[in-house]
Structure 1
């Protein structure tokens, strides 16, 4: 019998576990919001933060939210393609810690929002930050994971460029 000649080394499984943990936390918080809040309900938490229930059929900042429904499938497709690409990258570079942390954070968030689109036709948002009458668009844990991942991806590239000099 032939054995795999792949050398033992870093594995992508810890990164997939991190993405799964983010996905579970995201879906758990959204389930709580759907269970305890009606659309438009809000709870005051601090002078700059509320918990709300909002539905976003579009993308970031409600991009294409009023497009008529086709955007649900476009953003779901983009999420699926991103998932395949990210898993491929995690498999190819499991030892690059910051890079993989960034990608797996984006993966967990992207899958969380794809699950929402498939189950509800919209993404459930509930974190509402505001100041002096100005409200940042409501978002969720998946969006936060994607944002942290994107920032870490940029940081990883800056460090890589600096290191190559």
Structure 2
């Protein structure tokens, strides 16, 4: 097996692993909890809370009509998946951290897209809070997207650009009478 094949297998495994973990965790929540049920794991900090989010991140567009949300999320999901696939395809093989980051984002995007196609909304259950101040609930796919984006930003911030050295230009010589 060549090095490139092995690297692509690792990237595909990461993407697939995110999708499978996301879907299995959501299936477990749906089968074992009632909608809006909350199970404290760490008091005043973290609970498993089963909710369904018809909107985007942080519940944006949740009040929009079902038809609008389906068209909007369908088109943006297709655009995002094509964009992520293009970035991954065009990213040089040596950009390992960037490729891993995009693979995690891709897995998260597919995980949430599966929910939208199956239920018309996303299943969320990870509830982080301090006393009564709650961060919006999220899921494994959201976590993979967030971690992937953070690592991608860090990667691009510290990426060393291979800039060719400047070639000094010889001064132009003007010939008299020209």
TM over 0.5: yes
- Aligned to 2:71, the other structure's residue is in SS state helix
| C-alpha distance in structure 2 between counterparts of 1:136 and 1:19, whole Å | 26
For residues 78-124 of structure 1, the C-alpha deviation after alignment (integer angstroms, 9 at most, x for no partner) is 12222122222222223311111110110000000000000001000
**Which runs of 5 or more residues in structure 1 are unaligned?**
1-7
Residue number in structure 2 paired with 1:88: 86
RMSD after superposition: 1.6
TM-score norm. by structure 2 comes to 0.82
Q: Which has the larger radius of gyration?
A: 2
Residue number in structure 1 paired with 2:42: 46
How far residue 9 of structure 1 moved from its aligned partner, in angstroms, is 5.6
**Which runs of 5 or more residues in structure 2 are unaligned?**
164-178
- Aligned to 2:136, the other structure's residue is in SS state coil
Whether 1:10 aligns to 2:4 is yes
| C-alpha distance in structure 2 between counterparts of 1:53 and 1:107, whole Å | 24
Count of matched residue pairs? 156
| C-alpha distance in structure 2 between counterparts of 1:72 and 1:126, whole Å | 22
TM-score norm. by structure 1 comes to 0.88
Residue number in structure 2 paired with 1:128: 127
Task: Please show how residues 126-165 of structure 1 align to structure 2 within 5 Å.
Answer: 126-160=125-159, 163-164=160-161
Which contiguous aligned blocks of 4+ residues in structure 1 show a shift greater than 3 angstroms?
A: none
Residues 45, 51 of structure 1: 8 Å contact kept = yes
